[in-house]
């Protein structure tokens, strides 16, 4: 049996094991270990496993992950997200669907200091969902707005997925962060357009807030000063070339703690909660990265990417058709796989193929993040929908599945835009670097 076939079997076996409730990182490690044992021998496979486990977790490039997570956790625990929502609500008052738009806008802004889709969705569920329900919003629209807005957390920089992509695809993180900014803003506006369309079609689903005065709107802007400082210093610092991503993450986390303390919104207990959650989340993410690194090491040795490349070349497909195929595969995988694991398994396989067809690895990173986002909100899993349902069990999950459908148009629209106009992602990095 050829190594490539062994690789393919291992991928299917991985899906099987995952469906049996084995934790994602354990499943990846088992498949990688068994695969390497078949390809080489057990001693070598064990040695590879031990070395990769340590090297992965000691990788300086990945040290931004716990620090960006900490920045997001501190921002959450110091109620920064609540201030963002409050400001957006006042500014957007008097617009049909204004609260849904405020939720999406605040999620996009919060994503700029958070980096995690689940954290953004969980935070906004606590803050905006009760307000929308109080205002008489339809439960489906409320939940769908939170779920869709939450996905902005992994596209708008800093993005944990992009950090991981940067490490495995060996692409400079500042360029990836720069590439994600404009698509992130476009996606936010696309989500807003969907919410406005739904609200205009049926105003009973999204009653209007009484309009605020101009003065109130201007004053509302000042409530978001902490967010502006954090984003400008950390992400702006990367764009300006002042800090490395690791330094920006550390400064962002420290800044979030100082700002929370100055505004008297971050208690010692809240700080400990944020630190504990950061350590937990980092440990879980690194365990997945560890397992996926071992699995990816095996997949690369099987030369499966070469087989895939030869296969696509033999089909004489146009580059856009290959990309379409890759996107479809990602969407199918997103039905079953968790985002980070999916990126770690697939990027080493797909990236050589995509690059061979003339696509930029930086552009591809944005496509990957968008398809991961889609997986966060489309059935049958849709992690963000589960997060909302877990916090608001009275909202039926089936209702959320239906309500989210129009919002799926936005990421699909963005993928189409990116395929037609790659400069949407590539322009800013080309200007900055």
Partner 1 sequence: MSAKPWTLRLLERYFLALLVVAICALVVMMGITVANVLMRYLFNAPISGAYDLVEICLPISVFLALPSAIAAGQPIVIDLIDGIVGEGTVRVLKTIAGAAGAIILAFLFWAMWKPAHDAYVYGDVKPEFGFPVWIIWAFALFGVFNSALSAIATLILQGSTRGHNDLQDGAA
User: Rounded to an integer, what distance in angstroms lies between the CA atom of residue 22 and that of residue 34?
Assistant: 16
- Compose the 221-260 pattern: x for residues touching partner 1 by CB under 8 A, - for all others: ----------------------x--xx--xx-xx------
User: Rounded to an integer, what distance in angstroms lies between the CA atom of residue 339 and that of residue 332?
Assistant: 12
Tell me if 199 sits within 8 A of 102, measured CB to CB: no
- Compose the 378-397 pattern: x for residues touching partner 1 by CB under 8 A, - for all others: --xx----------------
Q: Shortest distance, CB of residue 60 to partner 1, whole angstroms?
A: 5
- Compose the 177-216 pattern: x for residues touching partner 1 by CB under 8 A, - for all others: ----------------------------------------
- Compose the 324-363 pattern: x for residues touching partner 1 by CB under 8 A, - for all others: ------------xxx--x----------------------
* Binding-residue total with partner 1 (CB under 8 A): 54
The reply to whether 53 sits near partner 1 by the rule CB under 8 A is: yes
> Residue 304: how many CB atoms within 10 A of its CB?
22
Tell me if 340 sits within 8 A of 286, measured CB to CB: no
Residue 340: both structure tokens together: 């980070």
- Compose the 279-318 pattern: x for residues touching partner 1 by CB under 8 A, - for all others: xxxxxx-xxx------------------------------
User: Rounded to an integer, what distance in angstroms lies between the CA atom of residue 48 and that of residue 429?
Assistant: 36
Any idea what the Cα angle at residue 413 is, between residues 140 and 420, rounded to 5°?
175
Q: Shortest distance, CB of residue 36 to partner 1, whole angstroms?
A: 11
Q: Shortest distance, CB of residue 205 to partner 1, whole angstroms?
A: 28
Q: Shortest distance, CB of residue 115 to partner 1, whole angstroms?
A: 15
- Compose the 113-152 pattern: x for residues touching partner 1 by CB under 8 A, - for all others: ----------------------------------------
User: Rounded to an integer, what distance in angstroms lies between the CA atom of residue 248 and that of residue 244?
Assistant: 6
Query: For residue 58, what are the CA distances in angstroms to 29, 49, 124, 206, 290?
Result: 18, 14, 33, 49, 11
User: Rounded to an integer, what distance in angstroms lies between the CA atom of residue 426 and that of residue 431?
Assistant: 9
CA end-to-end distance (rounded Å), the chain: 46
Q: Contact region for partner 1 (CB under 8 A) — 18-26, 78-86, 200-208, 369-377?
A: 18-26
The reply to whether 19 sits near partner 1 by the rule CB under 8 A is: yes
User: Rounded to an integer, what distance in angstroms lies between the CA atom of residue 247 and that of residue 109?
Assistant: 21
DSSP 49: H
Of the candidate residues 6, 31, 70, 119, the single one contacting partner 1 (CB under 8 A): 70
DSSP 265: -
Tell me if 159 sits within 8 A of 180, measured CB to CB: yes
Q: Contact region for partner 1 (CB under 8 A) — 101-109, 275-283, 296-304, 360-368?
A: 275-283
User: Rounded to an integer, what distance in angstroms lies between the CA atom of residue 360 and that of residue 404?
Assistant: 31
Q: Shortest distance, CB of residue 49 to partner 1, whole angstroms?
A: 5
Q: Shortest distance, CB of residue 366 to partner 1, whole angstroms?
A: 24
Query: For residue 346, what are the CA distances in angstroms to 288, 349, 404?
Result: 14, 5, 26
Nearer to partner 1, 254 or 356 (CB): 254
Q: For the chain, what percentages of helix, strand and coil (3-state, to nearest 5) are there? A: 80, 0, 20
Query: Which residues make up the interface to partner 1 (CB under 8 A)?
Result: 18-26, 29-30, 33, 46-47, 49-51, 53-54, 57-60, 62-63, 66-67, 70, 243, 246-247, 250-251, 253-254, 272, 275-276, 278-284, 286-288, 336-338, 341, 380-381
């Amino acid at each position: 049996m050829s190594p490539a076939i062994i690789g393919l079997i291992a991928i299917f076996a991985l899906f099987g094991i995952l469906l049996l409730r084995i934790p994602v990182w354990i499943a990846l490690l088992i498949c990688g270990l068994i695969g390497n044992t078949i390809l080489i021998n057990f001693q070598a496979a064990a040695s590879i496993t031990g070395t990769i486990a340590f090297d992965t977790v000691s990788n300086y490039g990945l040290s931004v992950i716990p620090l960006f997570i900490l920045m997001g956790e501190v921002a959450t625990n110091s109620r920064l997200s609540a201030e963002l929502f409050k400001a957006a609500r006042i500014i957007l008052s008097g617009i049909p669907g204004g609260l849904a738009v405020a939720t999406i806008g605040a999620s996009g802004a919060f994503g700029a200091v958070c980096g995690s889709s689940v954290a953004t969705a969980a935070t906004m569920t606590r803050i905006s969902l009760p307000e929308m329900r109080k205002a008489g919003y339809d439960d489906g629209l409320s939940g769908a707005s939170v779920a869709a807005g939450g996905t902005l957390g992994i596209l708008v920089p800093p993005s944990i997925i992009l950090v991981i992509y940067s490490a495995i695809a060996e692409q400079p993180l500042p360029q990836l962060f720069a590439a994600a900014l404009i698509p992130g803003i476009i996606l936010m506006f696309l989500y807003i357009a969907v919410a406005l369309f739904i609200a205009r079609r049926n105003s009973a689903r999204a009653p209007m807030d009484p309009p605020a005065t101009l003065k109130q709107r201007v004053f509302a802007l000042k409530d978001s000063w902490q967010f502006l400082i954090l984003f400008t210093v950390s992400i702006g610092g990367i764009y300006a070339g002042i800090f490395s991503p690791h330094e920006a993450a550390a400064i962002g986390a420290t800044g979030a703690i100082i700002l929370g303390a100055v505004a008297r919104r971050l208690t010692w207990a809240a700080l400990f909660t944020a630190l504990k959650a950061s350590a937990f989340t980092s440990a879980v993410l690194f365990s997945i990265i560890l397992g996926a690194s071992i699995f990816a090491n095996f997949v690369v040795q099987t030369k499966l990417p070469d087989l895939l490349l030869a296969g696509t070349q033999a089909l004489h497909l146009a580059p856009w058709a290959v990309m379409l195929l890759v996107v479809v595969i990602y969407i199918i995988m997103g039905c079953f796989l968790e985002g980070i694991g999916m990126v770690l398994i697939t990027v080493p396989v797909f990236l050589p193929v995509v690059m061979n067809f003339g696509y930029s690895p930086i552009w591809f990173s944005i496509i990957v993040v968008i398809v991961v986002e889609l997986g966060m909100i489309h059935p049958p899993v849709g992690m963000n929908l589960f997060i909302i349902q877990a916090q608001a069990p009275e909202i039926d999950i089936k209702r959320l599945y239906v309500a989210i459908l129009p919002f799926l148009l936005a990421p699909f629209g963005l993928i189409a835009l990116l395929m037609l106009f790659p400069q949407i992602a590539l322009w800013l990095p080309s200007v900055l670097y």
